[in-house]
Amino acid sequence: MSLARVGFIAIPPGAKPGFDHADVHRQRRRIYVAHTGADRIEVLDCNARTYLRALPAALPGVAGVLIDEQQDLLFSSDRGAARVSVFRCSDEQLLAQVEVGPHPNGLAYDRTRRQLYSFNLGDPVGENCTASVIGLDSMGVIAELPLPGRPRWALYDPERDVIYANIQQPAQIVVIDCERMVIERALEVPSAGPHGLWLDSGRLFCAADGGELAVLERDSGEVIASLPLPGVPDVVMHDPELERLYVAIGDPGLVCSFDTKRLEQLETVETEQGAHTTCWDPISQCLYVFCPASGGAAVYEERA
């Protein structure tokens, strides 16, 4: 199988070019993407492969987008306003906005306790970085965790009841115990600048600025593999059925795909300079690549 470009979805421009993280709502067949340059979240229709609308709220510097389908929630980190926003997915209505630490970026959600973690870049960026823990029942910050460095992306592991969060420097993945809301340990990453992160079959796939895709065992931190990348990576997406991992590289504009069973690179596909944001639709097995220069989303299908 190979990625083939099959279409392009134009997105209304903002004051500046630039997209950040995106997520898919599989049941509703919608993709939500942070349009950072426009201070809004854009909504795409996965079935028709068309642009629909923007969410009804101004979101200064919106960076992170995270969906929880089970609880019908969508979260955003609004970096320019030092807050997170909480939407109901079914009608896309804004439920609350909560002030957090400076320059929020990555998000992770503990569904069991209804607690959202916002990983904040600090002020100035890279100093005094924190993770704000928001209780959704009170819609307020209930804890603030100091971080050892600038955070990148993060995710919740329901099997271990922990959150993993990439730290740029020192190059590590911190492990947060969700019951106690404390950092219990850190896993060393063998490449500078951990950025994109995914968890599959007990393995953490960490795309790092040093030009490597590091694969770590989640419990021991053992390095299972270290695979070269042709540039500085950002977003990582995965399809468990295909056993494919996709790593976006903004410069020079590439997507690298890997076989997560054999742990080997499969192909490299040219996209567009600056295209570092992607979103995977597992239903149609399509990769959406957000292109700031072209002002939209290029659609790629996995084809035999």
Cα–Cα distance between 163 and 77 in angstroms, integer? 17
What pLDDT digit, counting tens, does each position of 132-179 carry? 999 999 999 999 999 999 999 999 999 999 999 999 999 999 999 999
Assessment of whether the complete model's pTM goes beyond 0.95: yes
> Across residues 10-38, what is the average pLDDT?
97
Predicted pLDDT of residue 23: 98
Contacts of 237 (CB under 8 A, 6+ apart): 198, 245, 246, 248, 278, 279, 280, 287
Cα–Cα distance between 221 and 215 in angstroms, integer? 9
Predicted pLDDT of residue 275: 98
* Mean pLDDT, the chain, integer: 97
Predicted pLDDT of residue 111: 96
> Across residues 79-95, what is the average pLDDT?
97
- The domain spans of the chain are 21-236
Cα–Cα distance between 274 and 278 in angstroms, integer? 12
Query: Superfamily for 21-236?
Result: YVTN repeat-like/Quinoprotein amine dehydrogenase (2.130.10.10)
Residue 304, pLDDT above cutoff 80? no
What pLDDT digit, counting tens, does each position of 32-61 carry? 999 999 999 999 999 999 999 999 999 999
> Across residues 184-206, what is the average pLDDT?
98
Predicted pLDDT of residue 261: 97
Predicted pLDDT of residue 64: 97
Band (288; pLDDT cuts 50, 70, 90): very high
> Across residues 102-107, what is the average pLDDT?
98
Residue 73, pLDDT above cutoff 80? yes
Band (303; pLDDT cuts 50, 70, 90): confident
> Across residues 97-109, what is the average pLDDT?
98
HEC states along the chain? CEEEEEEEEECCCCCCCCCCCEEEECCCCEEEEEEHHHCEEEEEECCCCEEEEECCCCCCCEEEEEEECCCCEEEEEEHHHCEEEEEECCCCEEEEEEECCCCEEEEEEECCCCEEEEEECCCCCCCCCEEEEEECCCCEEEEEEECCCCEEEEEEECCCCEEEEEECCCCEEEEEECCCCEEEEEEECCCCCEEEEEEECCEEEEEECCCEEEEEECCCCCEEEEEECCCCEEEEEEECCCCEEEEEECCCCEEEEEECCCCEEEEEEECCCCCCEEEEECCCCEEEEEECCCCEEEEEEEEC
120 CB-side CA count, 13 A: 29
Residue 1, pLDDT above cutoff 90? no
Predicted pLDDT of residue 8: 98
Contacts of 277 (CB under 8 A, 6+ apart): 19, 20, 21, 22, 33, 34, 234, 235, 248, 289, 290
Q: Cα dihedral angle (231, 240, 262, 298), rounded to 10 degrees? A: -30
